[in-house]
Structure 1
């Protein structure tokens, strides 16, 4: 399997240099079918399908799987004193006599060992010269007023130095999920993708900074994202702030012109609408060097942008976590209560920029809610008593 750097190189030769498949094979030495696969097809991350198969996961009595029946028996037993709980033999006998189970005693023991060995009890606790079509990107820190209190948010700012047009999106943090989701939103606002994107040494995109004779190394996720949207990522040279002076100036311009009076923040969607309306109105002024309106130069420059792909890039990550004695998980340095999971249980999280899903051992979504960072600023925090009654949080998705 090829690395993301190799895949990006193949796509660049195909889409930018116009190489035929045979010429790419000659240049790289890769198999023709491999080259065709990566040159002409999207390379997207796939969501895992971890649904298990076997007799314990076969539906039997009243549409329940035998595993679910065992889960229920163990759940009921967890409320009893240890000496009053059923042994594995007793559970196997109940399955055979009451549910027509044909499997072996050993199969039942293995299922219990694999899925319930960490559940101890039920009790839970509450708690330069710039060609048209080239972009520059950077984060900035800004203050907003939320329910009478001053809060800090991040703005991901995209500028096009040729026209001085800018777009921005408010985000809770600078991690990979926020960064790539923010880029998707900015490309959608611009109705196109820059041919090249110059960035600072952002931790969400860069593994090794450029300098001392070494080239920058981008993360696999960022390389895959860039290959899908077909732009060329360029890392800024050290001690060369002028290489992205356009976006650094724009970060300050936004602060001094739109945040001089601290704006009111209700949630991300209306705030981003307000901010980009301000930037669109601002484009009706004369360019600082050219005798044209920014909006006029932008109309010229936007024709040089790459088309948005038909399929949007899905941004998420999987991570395994363990509930504590309060039935909580730790996510983004915050504790989040997960209803009806039990304490000291391992669960799989699928984490997006603004929400997460909690997936059980057979791949079913058992809880979905807003991330702690998203709730902290947007106020989408669920009451604990309501959480204990409902297994899902209702969320409005900005993107």
Structure 2
């Protein structure tokens, strides 16, 4: 499945492919100044959200409207909600006191964002610079405790090169942190990422629709990546990475590794992958490492600035000075109780700042 591409990402991908800015402006349909702004940006890392939007009376009912419109996908076309019907139900069933116009705009925007794509299946012929990404589970001793380790696996099917890193979870921050680790280890950035259906970079909201998480959206802009998600129930589209998950689990995680931290374990894993690259490619009859060295010639260089993998949330501290993110409580300190705080979430740490 093709992931919806923002104008910013499309500009940066075309610029990475060597297209002139004048041609990009014509191709994308934007002004030259817009191309200059986004193609020349060196750092797309997210920052705290300082702007405060005016609350709408419709905001508390967003999840309800989403559910109604999502359910419409399983109904005949002539038996689906119109914007007027959504408005009438909100008033009569949910106590909505706002006007009709915000509902009309919300429904229109929802349908534009969830329009079914016309793209077909992924090609199964892999080209240099294309990478597949997915997660696998294994166990290890980390800091003296036996824990489940989420192994982000990145494969390059053209050369059959395989890498994995150890992470504490599978959310978007972990995906981006793991990918950045691989990119910096190999000293290059692939042209295209094909992601497994269950990675935390996006959420599947319909059979053929994925909503990309904001921190990952900025990540692919920063590294000028083209991205695709595998279609559901299409295992043949991700055979390379699924095979690599099992291969790396058997060859790196047996016997069970013992490390002081996820970081120490991750430093060991790519080095072990490099050592295994001396093996011969199962079809091409050449060492995998040599094939991969040639494949990297078709990849992009690392950007001048690394991407700061952080997700910012605005939260109000409770009476004990704690803030709640994703169902977990984090202590800011008693002196912050009642304050509105910026909370930055990275794969391995949390940063809390006063607004």
Given the two structures, how large is their TM-score scaled by the length of structure 2? 0.70
Q: Which of these residues, 248, 255, 260, is aligned with residue 261 of structure 1? A: 255
Computed over aligned residues only, the root mean square deviation of the Cα atoms, in angstroms, reads 2.6
Given the alignment of the two structures, is residue 152 of structure 1 paired with residue 153 of structure 2, yes or no? no
Worse-matched range after superposition: 277-286 or 218-227 = 218-227
Given the alignment of the two structures, is residue 23 of structure 1 paired with residue 19 of structure 2, yes or no? no
Deviation at 1:163, TM superposition (A): 1.6
Worse-matched range after superposition: 215-224 or 235-244 = 215-224
Question: Contact 1:140/1:154 (CA < 8 Å) preserved in 2?
Answer: yes
Question: Contact 2:13/2:224 (CA < 8 Å) preserved in 1?
Answer: yes
What aligned pairs does 1:173-322 form with structure 2 within 5 A after superposition?
173-202=169-198, 204-208=200-204, 211=207, 214=208, 216-322=210-316
Question: Contact 1:136/1:198 (CA < 8 Å) preserved in 2?
Answer: yes
Question: Contact 2:46/2:215 (CA < 8 Å) preserved in 1?
Answer: no
**1:209–1:288 CA distance, 2 compared to 1 (3 A):** farther
**1:256–1:29 CA distance, 2 compared to 1 (3 A):** closer
Any idea what the Cα deviations from partners look like across 1:90-144, whole Å, max 9, x if unmatched? xxxxxxxxxxxxxxxxxxxxxxxxxxxxxxxxxxxxxx32212211111111111
Deviation at 1:172, TM superposition (A): 0.7
Question: Contact 1:167/1:189 (CA < 8 Å) preserved in 2?
Answer: no
Larger relative contact order (Cα-Cα within 8 Å, sequence gap ≥ 6): 2
- C-alpha separation in 2, matches of 1:259 and 1:13: 39
Deviation at 1:184, TM superposition (A): 0.8
Question: Contact 2:130/2:156 (CA < 8 Å) preserved in 1?
Answer: yes
SS at match of 2:217: helix
Deviation at 1:186, TM superposition (A): 1.0
Deviation at 1:256, TM superposition (A): 1.8
Question: Contact 2:281/2:288 (CA < 8 Å) preserved in 1?
Answer: yes
Question: Contact 1:175/1:204 (CA < 8 Å) preserved in 2?
Answer: yes
Question: Contact 1:210/1:235 (CA < 8 Å) preserved in 2?
Answer: no
**1:36–1:261 CA distance, 2 compared to 1 (3 A):** same
- C-alpha separation in 1, matches of 2:199 and 2:142: 28
Give structure 2 stretches of 5+ with no counterpart. Answer: 51-123
Question: Contact 2:279/2:288 (CA < 8 Å) preserved in 1?
Answer: yes
Any idea what the Cα deviations from partners look like across 1:316-375, whole Å, max 9, x if unmatched? 1222333344433334544443334254443321222222222124xxxxxxxxxxxxxx
Question: Contact 2:46/2:218 (CA < 8 Å) preserved in 1?
Answer: no
Question: Contact 2:280/2:286 (CA < 8 Å) preserved in 1?
Answer: yes
- C-alpha separation in 2, matches of 1:28 and 1:129: 27
Given the two structures, how large is their TM-score scaled by the length of structure 1? 0.63
**Paired residue for 1:7?**
8
Worse-matched range after superposition: 338-347 or 272-281 = 338-347
Question: Contact 1:181/1:353 (CA < 8 Å) preserved in 2?
Answer: yes
Give structure 1 stretches of 5+ with no counterpart. Answer: 51-127, 362-399
- C-alpha separation in 2, matches of 1:292 and 1:348: 52
What aligned pairs does 1:310-349 form with structure 2 within 5 A after superposition?
310-331=304-325, 333-341=327-335, 343-349=337-343
Worse-matched range after superposition: 216-225 or 262-271 = 216-225
- C-alpha separation in 2, matches of 1:42 and 1:146: 36
- C-alpha separation in 2, matches of 1:209 and 1:297: 38
- C-alpha separation in 2, matches of 1:137 and 1:249: 12
